[in-house]
Amino acid sequence: MRQKGNDYMALMTPVVKGFLTDKGLKVCSDALQIHGGSGFTEHFPASQYMRDVRIALIYEGTNGVQALDLVGRKLAANGGRAVMGFFGELDAFVAANQDDAALKPFTEGLADAKAKLQEGTMWLMQNGLANPDNAGAASTDYMHLFGLTALAYMWCLIAKTCQAKIAAGDTDPFYATKLTIGRYYMQRILPDTTGHLAKLTSGSELMMALPVEAF
Protein backbone atom coordinates (compact mmCIF):
# COMPACT_ATOMS: atom_id res chain seq x y z
CA MET A 1 0.00 0.00 0.00
CA ARG A 2 2.84 2.39 0.76
CA GLN A 3 4.40 1.71 -2.64
CA LYS A 4 1.06 2.28 -4.37
CA GLY A 5 0.54 5.48 -2.41
CA ASN A 6 3.98 6.79 -3.34
CA ASP A 7 3.47 5.82 -6.98
CA TYR A 8 0.11 7.56 -7.17
CA MET A 9 1.35 10.68 -5.39
CA ALA A 10 4.19 11.07 -7.87
CA LEU A 11 2.05 10.27 -10.92
CA MET A 12 -0.96 12.36 -9.98
CA THR A 13 0.79 15.49 -8.69
CA PRO A 14 1.37 17.07 -12.14
CA VAL A 15 -2.06 15.90 -13.32
CA VAL A 16 -3.94 17.36 -10.36
CA LYS A 17 -1.97 20.61 -10.37
CA GLY A 18 -2.02 21.23 -14.12
CA PHE A 19 -5.41 19.88 -15.13
CA LEU A 20 -7.43 21.34 -12.26
CA THR A 21 -5.90 24.80 -12.34
CA ASP A 22 -6.44 25.00 -16.11
CA LYS A 23 -10.07 24.05 -15.52
CA GLY A 24 -10.33 26.50 -12.64
CA LEU A 25 -9.33 29.33 -14.94
CA LYS A 26 -11.95 28.22 -17.47
CA VAL A 27 -14.64 28.11 -14.78
CA CYS A 28 -13.80 31.64 -13.63
CA SER A 29 -13.77 32.84 -17.23
CA ASP A 30 -17.23 31.37 -17.78
CA ALA A 31 -18.43 32.99 -14.56
CA LEU A 32 -17.16 36.33 -15.85
CA GLN A 33 -18.88 35.74 -19.18
CA ILE A 34 -22.36 35.19 -17.78
CA HIS A 35 -22.32 38.65 -16.18
CA GLY A 36 -21.87 40.28 -19.58
CA GLY A 37 -20.00 43.57 -19.64
CA SER A 38 -20.63 44.10 -15.94
CA GLY A 39 -18.53 41.05 -15.17
CA PHE A 40 -15.42 42.92 -16.27
CA THR A 41 -16.06 45.66 -13.72
CA GLU A 42 -15.77 45.67 -9.96
CA HIS A 43 -19.54 45.68 -9.56
CA PHE A 44 -19.36 41.87 -9.29
CA PRO A 45 -16.52 39.90 -7.62
CA ALA A 46 -16.09 37.63 -10.67
CA SER A 47 -13.31 39.78 -12.12
CA GLN A 48 -11.34 39.47 -8.89
CA TYR A 49 -11.76 35.70 -8.92
CA MET A 50 -10.40 35.66 -12.47
CA ARG A 51 -7.30 37.60 -11.46
CA ASP A 52 -6.78 35.52 -8.34
CA VAL A 53 -7.06 32.15 -10.05
CA ARG A 54 -4.67 33.04 -12.86
CA ILE A 55 -1.61 32.71 -10.61
CA ALA A 56 -2.55 29.11 -9.84
CA LEU A 57 -1.39 28.13 -13.33
CA ILE A 58 2.06 29.48 -12.47
CA TYR A 59 2.60 28.60 -8.80
CA GLU A 60 4.42 25.34 -7.96
CA GLY A 61 5.71 25.00 -11.51
CA THR A 62 3.87 26.33 -14.53
CA ASN A 63 1.38 23.92 -16.03
CA GLY A 64 3.53 23.42 -19.11
CA VAL A 65 6.39 22.30 -16.89
CA GLN A 66 4.03 20.04 -14.93
CA ALA A 67 2.97 18.41 -18.20
CA LEU A 68 6.60 17.92 -19.24
CA ASP A 69 7.34 16.38 -15.85
CA LEU A 70 4.43 13.98 -16.30
CA VAL A 71 5.52 12.64 -19.69
CA GLY A 72 9.25 13.04 -19.20
CA ARG A 73 9.69 11.56 -15.73
CA LYS A 74 6.58 10.22 -14.07
CA LEU A 75 5.35 7.87 -16.81
CA ALA A 76 8.66 6.07 -17.16
CA ALA A 77 9.46 5.89 -13.43
CA ASN A 78 9.96 2.32 -12.20
CA GLY A 79 9.21 0.91 -15.62
CA GLY A 80 5.81 2.58 -15.80
CA ARG A 81 4.62 0.85 -12.63
CA ALA A 82 2.42 3.73 -11.44
CA VAL A 83 0.46 4.28 -14.64
CA MET A 84 0.02 0.54 -15.19
CA GLY A 85 -1.29 0.22 -11.66
CA PHE A 86 -3.76 3.02 -12.36
CA PHE A 87 -4.94 1.30 -15.54
CA GLY A 88 -5.44 -1.90 -13.57
CA GLU A 89 -7.57 -0.10 -10.99
CA LEU A 90 -9.80 1.38 -13.70
CA ASP A 91 -10.19 -1.99 -15.42
CA ALA A 92 -11.09 -3.63 -12.12
CA PHE A 93 -13.80 -1.06 -11.40
CA VAL A 94 -15.35 -1.43 -14.84
CA ALA A 95 -15.28 -5.23 -14.64
CA ALA A 96 -16.84 -5.25 -11.18
CA ASN A 97 -19.69 -2.93 -12.19
CA GLN A 98 -20.33 -3.69 -15.85
CA ASP A 99 -23.60 -5.52 -15.09
CA ASP A 100 -25.04 -2.58 -13.14
CA ALA A 101 -27.47 -1.00 -15.61
CA ALA A 102 -27.79 2.19 -13.58
CA LEU A 103 -24.02 2.71 -13.68
CA LYS A 104 -23.72 1.95 -17.39
CA PRO A 105 -23.35 5.60 -18.56
CA PHE A 106 -20.48 5.94 -16.11
CA THR A 107 -18.66 2.64 -16.65
CA GLU A 108 -18.93 2.88 -20.43
CA GLY A 109 -17.58 6.43 -20.38
CA LEU A 110 -14.73 5.43 -18.11
CA ALA A 111 -13.82 2.40 -20.21
CA ASP A 112 -13.70 4.51 -23.37
CA ALA A 113 -11.60 7.23 -21.75
CA LYS A 114 -9.22 4.69 -20.24
CA ALA A 115 -8.72 3.07 -23.65
CA LYS A 116 -7.81 6.46 -25.13
CA LEU A 117 -5.47 7.26 -22.26
CA GLN A 118 -3.77 3.89 -22.64
CA GLU A 119 -3.41 4.45 -26.39
CA GLY A 120 -1.86 7.85 -25.75
CA THR A 121 0.47 6.39 -23.14
CA MET A 122 1.66 3.67 -25.49
CA TRP A 123 2.19 6.24 -28.24
CA LEU A 124 4.34 8.33 -25.93
CA MET A 125 6.38 5.35 -24.81
CA GLN A 126 7.04 4.41 -28.42
CA ASN A 127 7.57 7.86 -29.92
CA GLY A 128 8.65 10.07 -27.03
CA LEU A 129 11.82 8.15 -26.31
CA ALA A 130 12.84 8.10 -29.96
CA ASN A 131 12.24 11.83 -30.33
CA PRO A 132 11.95 14.02 -27.21
CA ASP A 133 10.15 16.66 -29.30
CA ASN A 134 7.24 14.24 -29.61
CA ALA A 135 6.97 14.00 -25.85
CA GLY A 136 7.12 17.76 -25.42
CA ALA A 137 4.58 18.45 -28.14
CA ALA A 138 2.15 15.89 -26.68
CA SER A 139 2.62 16.76 -23.02
CA THR A 140 -0.21 19.22 -22.38
CA ASP A 141 -2.79 17.22 -24.30
CA TYR A 142 -1.68 14.08 -22.51
CA MET A 143 -2.02 15.78 -19.13
CA HIS A 144 -5.58 16.83 -19.98
CA LEU A 145 -6.44 13.38 -21.33
CA PHE A 146 -5.18 11.93 -18.06
CA GLY A 147 -7.08 14.46 -15.97
CA LEU A 148 -10.35 13.88 -17.81
CA THR A 149 -10.01 10.12 -17.36
CA ALA A 150 -9.11 10.36 -13.68
CA LEU A 151 -12.06 12.66 -13.04
CA ALA A 152 -14.34 10.22 -14.88
CA TYR A 153 -13.21 7.56 -12.41
CA MET A 154 -14.04 9.88 -9.51
CA TRP A 155 -17.51 10.42 -10.97
CA CYS A 156 -17.96 6.66 -11.21
CA LEU A 157 -17.18 6.28 -7.52
CA ILE A 158 -19.51 9.16 -6.65
CA ALA A 159 -22.31 7.70 -8.79
CA LYS A 160 -21.96 4.28 -7.19
CA THR A 161 -22.23 5.80 -3.71
CA CYS A 162 -25.20 8.00 -4.65
CA GLN A 163 -27.11 5.11 -6.18
CA ALA A 164 -26.50 2.99 -3.10
CA LYS A 165 -27.89 5.79 -0.92
CA ILE A 166 -30.99 6.14 -3.09
CA ALA A 167 -31.52 2.36 -3.17
CA ALA A 168 -31.33 2.34 0.63
CA GLY A 169 -34.22 4.81 0.77
CA ASP A 170 -32.36 8.07 1.31
CA THR A 171 -34.55 10.82 -0.15
CA ASP A 172 -32.02 13.64 0.11
CA PRO A 173 -32.11 15.36 -3.34
CA PHE A 174 -28.35 15.83 -3.08
CA TYR A 175 -27.75 12.33 -4.46
CA ALA A 176 -30.04 12.68 -7.48
CA THR A 177 -28.47 16.03 -8.26
CA LYS A 178 -24.99 14.53 -8.13
CA LEU A 179 -26.02 11.80 -10.55
CA THR A 180 -27.37 14.36 -13.01
CA ILE A 181 -24.14 16.38 -12.85
CA GLY A 182 -22.10 13.21 -13.26
CA ARG A 183 -24.05 12.18 -16.34
CA TYR A 184 -23.52 15.67 -17.75
CA TYR A 185 -19.78 15.23 -17.27
CA MET A 186 -19.82 11.89 -19.03
CA GLN A 187 -21.95 13.14 -21.92
CA ARG A 188 -20.70 16.68 -22.50
CA ILE A 189 -17.16 16.96 -21.09
CA LEU A 190 -15.51 13.54 -21.21
CA PRO A 191 -15.72 13.36 -25.06
CA ASP A 192 -12.93 15.97 -25.08
CA THR A 193 -10.61 12.97 -24.66
CA THR A 194 -11.01 12.26 -28.38
CA GLY A 195 -9.56 15.62 -29.38
CA HIS A 196 -6.69 15.44 -26.93
CA LEU A 197 -5.72 11.97 -28.17
CA ALA A 198 -5.82 13.10 -31.79
CA LYS A 199 -3.58 16.08 -31.05
CA LEU A 200 -1.04 14.28 -28.91
CA THR A 201 -0.58 11.49 -31.44
CA SER A 202 -0.07 13.94 -34.33
CA GLY A 203 3.61 14.24 -33.43
CA SER A 204 5.93 17.21 -33.28
CA GLU A 205 6.94 17.65 -36.92
CA LEU A 206 4.58 20.50 -37.73
CA MET A 207 5.07 22.17 -34.35
CA MET A 208 8.83 22.23 -34.91
CA ALA A 209 8.64 23.21 -38.58
CA LEU A 210 9.11 26.95 -38.10
CA PRO A 211 12.70 28.18 -37.80
CA VAL A 212 13.77 29.91 -34.59
CA GLU A 213 13.98 33.20 -36.51
CA ALA A 214 10.21 33.09 -37.04
CA PHE A 215 9.54 33.70 -33.37
Distance CA 110, CA 88 (A): 13
| Active-site position among 60, 89, 108, 205 | 60
Q: What is the 3-state secondary structure (H, E, C) of the chain?
A: CHHHHHHHHHHHHHHHHHHHHHHHHHHHHHHHHHCHHHHHCCCCCHHHHHHHHHHHHCCCCCHHHHHHHHHHHHCCHHHHHHHHHHHHHHHHHHHHHCCCHHHHHHHHHHHHHHHHHHHHHHHHHHHCCCCHHHHHHHHHHHHHHHHHHHHHHHHHHHHHHHHHHHHCCCCCHHHHHHHHHHHHHHHHHCCHHHHHHHHHCCCCCCCCCCCHHHC
Sign of CA dihedral 92, 97, 99, 103: negative
Cβ neighbours of residue 42 under 8 Å, at least 6 residues apart?
A: 48
DSSP class of 41 = S
213 has catalytic annotation: no
Catalytic residues: 60
